[in-house]
Amino acid sequence: MDFLPEAISEYVEAHSAPESELLQRINRETHARVLMPRMLSGHLQGRVLSMFSHMMRPKRILEIGTYTGYSAICLAEGLTADGLLYTLDINEELETRVRGYFSEAGLEKKINYQIGNAVDIIPTLKETWDMVFIDADKLNYHTYYELVLPQVRQGGFIISDNVLWSGKVADPTAKKDKDLQNMLAFNTMIQNDSRVENVLFPIRDGLSVARKR
């Protein structure tokens, strides 16, 4: 995921708003106690998500893939006063930890955290999304995208994480396993989708931002 020289990465983080004490602790505890900590958004991407949310001032956000709650807290920072963030995750083992973090952040009433299969849950959510963040199992990215796009308002945004897949999408020598093939197809699909206008940002492992026309 580290595409920039280390010195540049350190400079960028040093000249970006810092994490809150709670986010710093979630970061530390995730790396110390939870499997696959590289799934955490982290300082720079977290501040980018927060900035996007503040710029959009969303009333309704959908996050697909909660993990330990770091990105949900960042996204919730830009919600309107009457805003609500739904976040979906299939891993029930992290539920107690994540609900504890949301409580500490004072976001129990701003975050609707649901455990289950997002493919089953999304059609039951009768909301119009201003912003969607996709950061779950990569093989279902296209499915998630197609499920949520009709629910996104005109001018709303879908942000998808990990679209550079550790740089493998641009590496002709990389082994094209199912995950890489899926990500290549997903990026091509968004690039050719006349329903959206898109930009791919080389932030961390790649953020695709698509605005619904």
Sequence-distant (6+) residues with CB within 8 A of 116 are: 88, 90
- What's the CATH class of domain 6-212? alpha beta
Per-residue pLDDT of the chain (213 residues; tens, 9 = 90+): 667 788 998 999 999 999 999 999 999 999 999 999 989 999 999 999 999 999 999 999 999 999 999 999 999 999 999 999 999 999 999 999 999 999 999 999 999 999 999 999 999 999 999 999 999 999 999 999 999 999 999 999 999 999 999 999 999 999 989 999 999 999 999 999 999 999 999 999 999 999 999
Give CA–CA dist 208/213, Å, rounded. Answer: 16
Break the chain into its structural domains and give their ranges.
6-212
Q: Report strand pairing: 152-161 vs 129-134.
A: parallel
Q: Where are the alpha helices (DSSP H) in 105-208?
A: 118-121, 141-148, 178-191
